[in-house]
Amino acid sequence: MTFASFSPETPGPRTDADLIGSNRRFYDALWRDAKLFAPERFNTWPLVAELAATSTSRLEVAPGLRPRLPLVDTQFVDLSRPALTELGRHGAHVAQAMIGALPFVDNSFDFVCAFDILEHVVNDEGALGELARVARPGASLLLSVPLHPSAWNAFDEFVGHYRRYEPAAVTELLARHGFVIERSAVYGMQPKSSKLLDLGQWFLTHRRARAMWWYNKVFMPLGVRFQKPLALKDGFVAGPEVDEILLVCRKRA
């Protein structure tokens, strides 16, 4: 994994080893005591079902135990061994790898997903290049990223983000790797209250086991239950108030 540049609003630069280490610690602890949420429970499912109906080979990168693609006959890649073990128990194909070095030959998949991933790696050019390499011409790509570097906060730091994106930078990055944005929607379930975020981070730091229990047993189920339906629009629609965006892309032939 690697990233190109970071915005001046983020803290000082961190290395691949820093990010991989912090992500592994956070997400291994999270997934070790978590249950898998079925893809059908997320507001992305109607869109995913639409795209999956015309696909023959699917890849989702780093889903943890929150996969969005159908489990059976989908290839999943993650760094977390607890997550991979649980996904495999539910009939998924799994491989332990990083987004910057996918263990597949060129043009392997016609439907690729990477939710909440690019902001965690240092070399987004290399990461997206790998997604483009394994995607067939005409393949669908679902991608989500946080927006607006000026909105950087302690939550970004805590969960191992490396950057937030300006909308124009996302569009240019995708175009360099042969992807065209077809539709987009506001996405994500990050709490809006800074006090709630501060409280959650304190418990994750000082009472991790208890915090993980509340997240997995209470907050995550409630968040999923009260998700709003995705409001997809043509093109890239993201105003300054949009914290995170879901992009539906197509790889050029």
Inside any domain, residue 21? yes
Residues whose CB falls within 8 Å of the CB of residue 181, separated by 6 or more in sequence, listed in order: 171, 174, 235, 236, 247, 248, 249
* pLDDT score for 200: 61
Segments forming the whole domain that contains residue 161: 2-190+228-251
- Residue 119 banded pLDDT, cuts 50, 70, 90: very high
pTM above 0.85, yes or no: no
- Residue 48 banded pLDDT, cuts 50, 70, 90: very high
User: What is the 8-class DSSP label of residue 73?
Assistant: T
Task: Write the CATH number for 236.
Answer: 3.40.50.150
Inside any domain, residue 15? yes
* pLDDT score for 225: 72
Q: What is the pLDDT of residues 186-245, one digit of tens each?
A: 987 555 555 656 666 665 666 666 666 666 666 666 666 778 899 999 999 877 888 899
Do β-strands 135-146 and 244-251 pair in parallel, antiparallel, or remain unpaired?
Answer: antiparallel
More confident residue, 18 or 253: 253
Inside any domain, residue 211? no
Do 72 and 92 contact (CB within 8 A), yes or no? yes
* pLDDT score for 74: 97
* pLDDT score for 161: 84
Inside any domain, residue 124? yes
Inside any domain, residue 84? yes
Do 214 and 32 contact (CB within 8 A), yes or no? no
Inside any domain, residue 208? no
Inside any domain, residue 58? yes
Inside any domain, residue 204? no
Domain count, the chain: 1
Query: CA-to-CA distance for 92 and 90, rounded, in angstroms?
Result: 6
